Amino acid sequence: MRFTLREGASAYAVATDLKSYGLIRSAMAFRLAAGWDDAWREAKAGDYALRPDMSAMEILRAIERGEVMLESLTVPEGLSIWQVADLFEAEGLGSADDLARAASHAAGWTADFPLPAGSVEGYLFPDTYRVSRQPTAAADLVQMMLRRFDDVVWRDMLGGKPSARPLHDVITLASLVEGEAKLDSERPVVAAVLLNRLKRGMKLECDATVQYALGPNRKGRLTYEDLKVASPYNTYLYPGLPPGPINSPGRASIEAALRPAAVSYLFYVARPDGSHAFSNTYAEHLRAVARVRAARSARRASGASARGGTGARGAAR
């Protein structure tokens, strides 16, 4: 049976509830036992799996030890903070606002890697977590995800020390790769294209950054008007990397950002199947865009669509 212990609940109220659920015989005996034990003051709010065949003392010890029920939450790669927050709420673990608020600033979190100055966007490592339904669930999840980033990225991938490029730049680039590439085999190539454009002083013109700039209003396909959205994250308007990550990249995208492919491509456009056509020159790119348009037209009747790409200026949309 799921029994919910509310934050700040007294031993009197808990004993009454346990008795009403038929989990204990005597509310008075439970109150007396809890009163004699200072450990009750550390009782943890949350959901407990209690059975009628448990003794009152077993129930008391389970609550005092904080043996709350844990729910499994899988956070996939490529979600922004507000998408993680929506998933958190959809799974019934707590308020989306609470999680978004907790992740909106780096101050107060514990991490071995250098925390960013603003929000922890990009550092909530995608993985499966065990979360309890309690008032601190949002903060607990953020801290768990930051610790996982510590384990996987900072200690395992980087050996606990900075790379040649600032960590924030690496994760920002990785988030763009995560947003643009669908195939793991193409992630190092997409990373190389973005870095090649940066080296040449070209705007990244990355669709995923525009989607982030649109916030919760993101679309399946962008329009020319969307490319004009006034945001420092709009890489169609502003040169260089955006101010920070646009999602939580997975290991493959971070690996690609750290070790991009040795290619000279400057352009790419997505095919209807999610793969990309890469080009060295704008003329080559326009021909690739034309082929994508033709392929998309052929699939339009079935409702499929092709996504644009770097340097396309909406031509493939």
Q: Which domains, and CATH codes, for the chain?
A: 2-64 (3.30.1490), 70-157 (no CATH), 167-302 (no CATH)
Q: How much is the pLDDT for 135?
A: 82
Q: How much is the pLDDT for 313?
A: 40
In this model, does residue 16 exceed pLDDT 60?
A: yes
Average pLDDT, the chain: 89
Residue-wise pLDDT for 240-258, tens only, equals 999 999 999 999 999 999 9
297 pLDDT band (50/70/90 cuts)?
confident
Residue-wise pLDDT for 143-178, tens only, equals 999 999 999 999 999 999 888 899 999 999 999 999
Residue-wise pLDDT for 51-82, tens only, equals 888 988 899 889 888 888 888 999 999 999 99
Asked if 225 and 213 touch (Cβ cutoff 8 Å), the reply is no
| DSSP per-residue codes, 69-118 | -EEEEE--TT--HHHHHHHHHHTTSS-HHHHHHHTT--TT---SS---SS
